[in-house]
Amino acid sequence: MRGSAPDAALYWYARIITAGGDPLYVARRCLAIASEDVGNADPRAMQVALSAWDCFTRVGPAEGERAIAQAIVYLACAPKSNAVYTAFKAAMADARERPDYDVPVHLRNAPTKLMKEMGYGQAYRYAHDEPNAYAAGEEYFPQEMAQNPLLSADKQRS
């Protein structure tokens, strides 16, 4: 599936089944591939994988195996993007390396009078009140990190 070769993907799926492998293991891999390899290049891929898994659990092996095969072909033929996968890995690394950075004061909720007096939430810009629902120049990262692009500009939508 990852290599965009639907015929080979079907063959290896058939080999797993004929060797006594669990089709739900393959369904689980389909779901992972829909997220990791297809990603936002085709957001429907995750629903296709979930539907195949659901179909298998509802109708059993004979028909359910075909539903998983359908998902395999869909995923193999789908456009691929691992932009979210790689960006999330980078975000996790940042979070592990910098666990003590504070949430910027202007982003903090201020449910109490004391918090309001401390400046929580002041100068917060509600994005939906901005042109194109985008608060240009607003900083959402901790002060120590400043703008930290995890998704490259060309991959933000893929």
pTM of the model: 0.82
pLDDT (average), residues 47-73: 97
User: CA 39: distance to chain centroid?
Assistant: 6
Which pLDDT score, from 0 to 100, does residue 35 have? 96
Task: Verify that 25 and 59 share a domain, yes or no.
Answer: yes
State the average pLDDT for the chain: 93
Asked if residue 124 belongs to a domain, the reply is: yes
SS3 120: coil
Which pLDDT score, from 0 to 100, does residue 153 have? 56
Task: Verify that 102 and 47 share a domain, yes or no.
Answer: no
The domain that holds 54 is classified in CATH as 1.20.272.10
Asked if residue 152 belongs to a domain, the reply is: no
Burial class (CB in 10 A: 0-12, 13-18, 19+), 62: exposed
Which pLDDT score, from 0 to 100, does residue 143 have? 86
The listed range with the strongest mean pLDDT (27-36, 86-95, 133-142, 147-156) is 27-36
pLDDT at 44 over 70: yes
Instruction: List pLDDT tens digits, range 101-120.
Output: 999 999 999 999 999 999 99
Task: Verify that 17 and 70 share a domain, yes or no.
Answer: yes
Report the number of distinct structural domains present in the chain: 2
Give the pLDDT band of residue 2 (cuts 50, 70, 90).
confident
Task: Verify that 69 and 103 share a domain, yes or no.
Answer: no
pLDDT at 1 over 90: no
Task: Verify that 63 and 118 share a domain, yes or no.
Answer: no
**Which residue range is the domain that position 12 belongs to?**
6-77
Asked if residue 54 belongs to a domain, the reply is: yes
How far apart CA 138 and CA 126 sit, in angstroms, is 10
Asked if residue 93 belongs to a domain, the reply is: no
Give percent of the chain with pLDDT exceeding 70. 96
Give the pLDDT band of residue 158 (cuts 50, 70, 90).
low
DSSP-assigned letter for residue 104: P
Task: Verify that 63 and 102 share a domain, yes or no.
Answer: no
